[in-house]
Amino acid sequence: MFENAAVQSGLDRLSGASREAVVLPDSETGMISQAVLQDMSIISCFQRSEDYAAEEPVWMQRSIFASNGVERQAERPFPNIETLPGLVKLEQILSPGGSQRNHCAATRISENWFLTANHCVQMRGTASPVFDMLIIAPDDDVMRPDTRILPVDGAVCHAAWYSQTGKFDDDIALVFVANTAEIADIPIAQFDRSGSTVPLSPGDESHFAGWGRNGQNRFLQGGDLTVRTVGEAYILADNSGDFAPCVGDSGGPLYVEENDTQTVVGILSSVTTGGCPPYGGAFYMRVKSYENWIQRTMSVCEHEGRFVCGRPVNGS
């Protein structure tokens, strides 16, 4: 009886994988229903307004906001962008004029998909509407007039985030950009997977980067961290009280170098000290533990080059 139960369990898993592989958008809405997504721990958490395609919003041009008469200065040296594969800035537009924003980072992990934190897409504890979401090409200074800006077409979040425990479990999301021609030079980052040869244990050296509190989230920052704890789904790292991640670096990658290759092992979820300074520890979602969710989501939510896990007009 035990053997039959095991065989049936394997068949059920195989059947489930097969069903996910052939999930297609609804013929009427052009989207996959929320009910189907929920079964895969996926929720649609952003879809861009079609109105912006007809008339480009003002926030798509940096020059309008860069010439406000306020001079900003970087507080620390810039890390080398060439050593940070896939890194981009992620911004949410929170006001009709575009002056209010939420600042995060993300990592390019495929041609059209970028990995970030769930709370960078679904802001917890605020009623602020999200008018738009942007991918900003990496630069030492992301407020240059010629900064490359791409609109996010849609985003999907892990459905289990912010459970009744109140913890940051499952703080992971994916954003989709349909037209990536302008950022063809940004490499696709390698991320840690099952069967990977990347070792990870307390005491290992790693490094981070983002656009945290450095000149009003304008200037690139980054540095080295030491891994302190490796859990099943999280990594805790710090810099012994010295310079470390801060608010605004959320969603950014934690890199570990192995065989001259920078591999993304974590996505920044939270920091233990928000003042920055003082600096505390940084909690990262361990991407290796979310490999199946990442691969499944990208497969299901992209169809013929389109983002198909958005919210239909009727919200169903």
Tell whether 109 and 147 lie within a shared domain. yes
Split at pLDDT 50, 70, 90, the class of 71 is: low
Do 180 and 220 sit in the same domain of this protein?
no
Short-list 31, 49, 294, CA closest to 173? 294
| Domain match, 296 and 282 both | no
Does 35 fall in a domain? yes
Residue with the bigger pLDDT between 124 and 305: it is: 305
- The verdict on residue 6 lying in a domain is no
The pLDDT of residue 4 is 34
List of residues 6+ apart from 117 with CB closer than 8 A: 104, 171, 172, 173, 250, 251, 267, 268, 269, 285
Note whether 48 and 178 are same-domain residues: yes
Q: In this structure, what DSSP letter does residue 19 have? A: H
Confidence class for position 201, pLDDT limits 50, 70, 90: very high
Look at residue 7 in the predicted model and tell me its pLDDT.
28
The closest alpha carbon to 143, from 68, 210, 252, 79, belongs to: 68
CATH number at 184 reads 2.40.10.10
Whether residues 151 and 38 share a domain: the answer is: yes
In a domain, 102, yes or no: yes
Question: pLDDT at residue 316 above 70?
Answer: no
- Residue 83 belongs to some domain of the structure: yes
Q: Does residue 213 lie in a domain region?
A: yes
pTM over 0.95: no
pLDDT tops 50 at residue 65:
yes
Please state, in angstroms and rounded to a whole number, the distance separating the CA atoms of residues 85 and 82.
7
Same domain, 122 and 171: yes
Q: Which residue has the higher pLDDT, 30 or 84?
A: 84
> Looking at the structure, do residues 101 and 136 belong to the same domain, yes or no?
yes
Question: What range does the domain containing 47 cover?
Answer: 31-67+75-188+290-307
- Residue 160 sits in the same domain as residue 139: yes
Q: Strand locations in 132-251, DSSP E?
A: 132-136, 149-151, 154-158, 173-176, 190-191, 205-210, 221-230, 234-238
- pLDDT tens digit sequence for 121-158: 987 656 678 999 999 999 999 999 999 999 999 999 99
Mean pLDDT of 213-225: 90
Residues 284 and 297 in one domain: no
Identify the sign of the CA torsion 228, 211, 119, 296.
negative
Query: 159 and 218: one domain?
Result: no
Residue 52 lies in a domain: yes
The pLDDT tens digits of the residues spanning 104-119 come to 999 999 999 999 999 9
On whether both 63 and 102 belong to a single domain, the answer is yes
Q: Is residue 194 situated within a structural domain?
A: no
Which pLDDT belongs to residue 51?
92
pLDDT at 167 over 80: no
Residue 164 pLDDT greater than 70, yes or no: no
Q: What is the residue-averaged pLDDT of the chain?
A: 86
Out of 18-27, 42-51, 89-98, 156-165, least confident range: 18-27
Number of domains present in the structure of the chain: 2
In a domain, 4, yes or no: no
Same domain, 59 and 154: yes
